[in-house]
Copies of this chain bind each other. A is one copy, B any other.
Amino acid sequence: MNELQVSPEQLFVTTTLKAWDLWLGRITKFFDGLTDEQMLQEIAPGKNRAVYLYGHLLVVSDAMIPQMGLGEAKYEHLREAFLSKPDRAVELPGSAELRESWREVHARVGSVFAELKPEQWLAGHATVSAEDFAAQPHRNRLSILLSRTSHLGYHLGQLMLMTR
């Protein structure tokens, strides 16, 4: 099938994936434009540092895989530093290591997403019971992707306030 003959279901998926790619591209470009020193700057006085948000988003992207029931997380060991605990509570990995992990995790989720058929996007996610899912079929994999896309936007908005 060429793009003109694509099914409506596939077009819904493609449109949603384009939105994910767009926001991911924007925020990746932002972080790529920061020096390692700027990574340690706060987004606003007394608030999170850029490096904390970078690791935070990396861990959240990684966690989509098990949340969608599609495999194991790979950066479980970064969860405490970037998710369970606030910035400055735990010593963080260096920016070079995080930049490498950022590329790896987003290449991985991108490949996993590209493989999913429309009906697989509508399957229940791993944290909803079969009973709840029967009554609330919108609690599917697609809803996780939508949530994480806007979550990228949420933190990009904050990062744009940084004075560099």
Residue numbers of A with Cβ under 8 A of B are: 3-4, 6, 8-9, 11-16, 18-19, 22-23, 43-45, 47, 118-119, 121-122, 134-138, 140, 142-143, 146-147, 149-158, 160-161
Contacts and interface: CB of A to CB of B under 8 A. Distances in A.
**Number of copies of this chain that the complex holds:** 2
A135 to B, nearest CB: 7
A138 B11 contact: yes
A160 B14 CA distance: 31
Nearest to A13: B12
A12 B142 contact: yes
B149 A151 contact: no
Nearest to A53: B157
Given A9-B8, A150-B152, A153-B150, A143 B15 contact: yes
B143 A19 contact: yes
26 contacts: A3-B136, A4-B137, A6-B137, A8-B122, A9-B12, A11-B137, A11-B138, A12-B12, A12-B13, A12-B142, A14-B138, A15-B138, A15-B142, A16-B146, A18-B143, A44-B47, A44-B161, A146-B149, A149-B149, A150-B150, A150-B152, A152-B153, A153-B153, A155-B157, A158-B160, A161-B161
